[in-house]
């Protein structure tokens, strides 16, 4: 079901205690408040159990930032989708550009991660987006289309319907340089059209497509007002309640 969503991606920030404090503060700030979107925080793995214990999922939902491409076994240092699900987390970010760029995650690996996540009833928040050189060459649409086709289009329509997409232009991540509202709408509409071409208009219309990349309290309202922008995946501004809450309230 297409929903408005504001998700925080804490990335590799916050010790366990700091993360617990932030989650508590966010939950308190939102308790009793009427908001027009689902709120999710995606924490580091080691925070999941403690943060899950203090969150009311009707107020703030919980996700991880990654999971393994294998089910179990001799994969030192990896964390499986089943392990993530066993903490109570409901979501998992997959295919973030930082994982693609720094940890060699290919579309083929991501297909396996998606399979693991779905088998374990986690909702993937699947990230796509072009780098600066690709946008400057006018190739952003074909890059994003290939990412979607190569990782997602083997899914059944039913499984595709379980996924949240996040368009994160790499040049906008952590740079303070947000995509303009027009650039975001244009790409989100293109993504929806690409989905419609494969799965039909009703699946496309039901897919939540979030924008990520230097979203903040100042630009969230304008971004979210676009018909094809269903929310945000927020990095830096999710690390403090003071900067995250106004983004949630932008809906």
Would residue 57 be called left, alpha or beta, if left means φ above 0 and alpha means ψ between -120 and 50 degrees? alpha
- The smaller minimum CB distance to ligand 13P, of residues 100 and 199, is found at 100
Q: Which residue is nearest to ligand 13P (CB)?
A: 235
Active site residues: 96, 168
* Residue 175 CA to its chain's centroid (Å): 18
Q: Which of 63, 124, 169, 236 binds ligand 13P (CB under 6 A)?
A: 236
Do 2 and 205 touch, CB atoms closer than 8 A?
yes
Do 71 and 79 touch, CB atoms closer than 8 A?
no
- The smaller minimum CB distance to ligand 13P, of residues 140 and 214, is found at 214
| Interaction mask 147-176, ligand 13P, x per CB under 6 A | ---------------------x----xx--
| Interaction mask 89-128, ligand 13P, x per CB under 6 A | -------x--------------------------------
Q: Tokens 């303070």, residue? A: 176
| Interaction mask 190-229, ligand 13P, x per CB under 6 A | ----------------------xxxx--------------
Distance in Å, CB of 104 to ligand 13P, minimum: 18
Nearest alpha-carbon partner for 163 in 238, 69, 86, 230: 230
Site for ligand 13P in 32-61 (CB under 6 A): none
Nearest alpha-carbon partner for 220 in 206, 207, 236, 205: 236
CB atoms within 10 A of CB 156: 10
Q: Which of 4, 9, 140, 219 binds ligand 13P (CB under 6 A)?
A: 9
Distance in Å, CB of 98 to ligand 13P, minimum: 7
Distance in Å, CB of 233 to ligand 13P, minimum: 4
- The smaller minimum CB distance to ligand 13P, of residues 68 and 239, is found at 239
* Residue 162 CA to its chain's centroid (Å): 13
Residue 233 interacting with ligand 13P (CB under 6 A): yes
d(CA 211, CA 190): 13
Kindly provide the b/e burial profile for residues 95-118, where b requires at least 16 CB atoms within 10 angstroms of the residue's own CB: bbbbbbeeeebeeebbbbbbbbbb
d(CA 91, CA 8): 12
Residue 234 interacting with ligand 13P (CB under 6 A): yes
Residues contributing to the site for ligand 13P (CB under 6 A): 9, 96, 168, 173-174, 212-215, 233-237
């Amino acid at each position: 079901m297409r929903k408005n969503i504001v998700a925080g991606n804490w990335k590799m920030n916050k010790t366990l205690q700091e993360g617990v404090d932030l989650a508590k503060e966010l939950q308190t700030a939102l308790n009793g408040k009427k908001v027009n979107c689902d709120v999710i925080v995606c924490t580091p793995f080691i925070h999941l159990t403690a943060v899950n214990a203090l969150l009311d999922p009707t107020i703030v939902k919980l996700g991880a930032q990654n999971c393994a491409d294998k089910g179990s076994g001799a994969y030192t240092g990896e964390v499986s989708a089943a392990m993530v699900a066993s903490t109570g987390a409901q979501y998992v970010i997959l295919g973030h550009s930082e994982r693609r760029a720094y940890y060699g995650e290919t579309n083929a690996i991501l297909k396996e991660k998606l399979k693991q996540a779905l088998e374990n009833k986690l909702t993937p928040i699947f990230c796509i987006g072009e780098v600066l050189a690709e946008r400057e060459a006018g190739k952003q649409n074909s890059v994003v289309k290939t990412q979607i086709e190569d990782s997602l289009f083997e899914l059944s329509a039913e499984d595709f319907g379980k996924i949240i997409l996040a368009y994160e232009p790499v040049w906008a991540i952590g740079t303070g340089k947000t995509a303009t509202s027009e650039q975001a709408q244009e790409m989100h509409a293109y993504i929806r059209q690409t989905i419609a071409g494969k799965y039909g208009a009703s699946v496309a219309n039901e897919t939540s497509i979030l924008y990520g990349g230097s979203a903040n309290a100042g630009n969230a309202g304008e971004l979210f007002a676009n018909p094809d922008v269903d929310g945000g995946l927020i990095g830096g501004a999710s690390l403090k309640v003071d900067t995250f809450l106004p983004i949630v309230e932008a809906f």
